[in-house]
């Protein structure tokens, strides 16, 4: 694997991907903490995983044992939450819709 330490530039880039705002003063501490964690996680490199399939979810591993128990249902239409319930927690709303900021920046 390539260089593990996450520098401040990388923290800023990843924060952008994660829609988080990290203050300049916080970049150093985050970089240090995340680098420490990733340095420890480097130990996984030592494990021989050649030919080993990914295990992403326990349910996919037992489908062959329990396929009769994993039910599917017909795609039937049922009532879902109405607009008033859905909007009940909206921080801002107008005309029965969520009101949000501009999606397109002004020139």
Partner 1 sequence: MKSIYEAHLALKNKKMSALELLESCLSNRSEKNNAFISVTEDRAKSEAIKADEKIARGEWTSYLQGIPYSLKDLFVTEGLRTTAASKILYNYIPPYEGFVASAFKNAGAVLVGKVSLDEFGMGSTNENSAFGPVLNPLNATRVPGGSSGGSAASIAEGSSLVSMGTDTGGSSRLPANFCGIVGFKPSYGRVSRFGQIAYASSLDQASPMGNSVLDIGIVMEHLSKKDPHDASQVNLGQMKIVEDLLKIDGEYFKGKKIGLCMELIDGCKEDVKKALLQALDLMKNNGATIVNIELPHLKYSVSSYYIIATCEASANLSRYDGIHYGYRKSHNGQLEDTYKESRSLGFGEEVKKRILLGTYSLSSGYYDAYYSKACKVRRLIAQDFNHAFLNCDVIFSPVCASTAFELGEGPKDPVQMYMNDLYTIPANLAGLPALALPFGNGADQMPTGFQLIGKQFGDEALLKLGRSFEVLTGKKF
Q: Note the residues at the interface with partner 1 (CB under 8 A).
A: 1-2, 6, 10-11, 14-15, 17-22, 30, 33-34, 36-38, 40-41, 43-45, 47, 49, 52-59, 61-62, 66, 69-73, 81, 85-86, 88-92, 98, 100-103, 105
**In the complex, what is the shortest distance from the CB of residue 26 to partner 1, in angstroms, rounded to a whole number?**
9
CA distance 31 to 5: 8
**In the complex, what is the shortest distance from the CB of residue 23 to partner 1, in angstroms, rounded to a whole number?**
9
CA distance 38 to 50: 22
**In the complex, what is the shortest distance from the CB of residue 76 to partner 1, in angstroms, rounded to a whole number?**
11
CA distance 32 to 35: 5
Q: Which is nearer to partner 1, 17 or 95 (CB)?
A: 17
CA distance 81 to 68: 32
Q: Write down how long the chain is.
A: 107
Query: What are the angstrom distances between the C-alpha of 16 and each of 9, 23, 44, 48, 53?
Result: 11, 12, 27, 34, 32
Q: Which is nearer to partner 1, 24 or 43 (CB)?
A: 43
**In the complex, what is the shortest distance from the CB of residue 43 to partner 1, in angstroms, rounded to a whole number?**
6
């Amino acid at each position: 694997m390539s260089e593990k330490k996450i520098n401040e530039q990388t923290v800023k880039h990843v924060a952008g991907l994660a829609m988080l705002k990290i203050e300049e003063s916080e970049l150093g501490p985050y970089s240090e903490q995340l680098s420490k964690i990733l340095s420890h996680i480097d130990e996984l490199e030592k494990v021989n995983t050649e030919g080993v399939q990914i295990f992403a979810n326990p349910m996919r591993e037992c489908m062959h044992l329990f396929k009769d128990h994993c039910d599917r249902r017909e795609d039937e239409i049922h009532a879902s939450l109405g607009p008033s319930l859905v909007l009940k927690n909206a921080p801002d709303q107008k005309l029965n819709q969520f009101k949000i900021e501009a999606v397109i920046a002004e020139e």
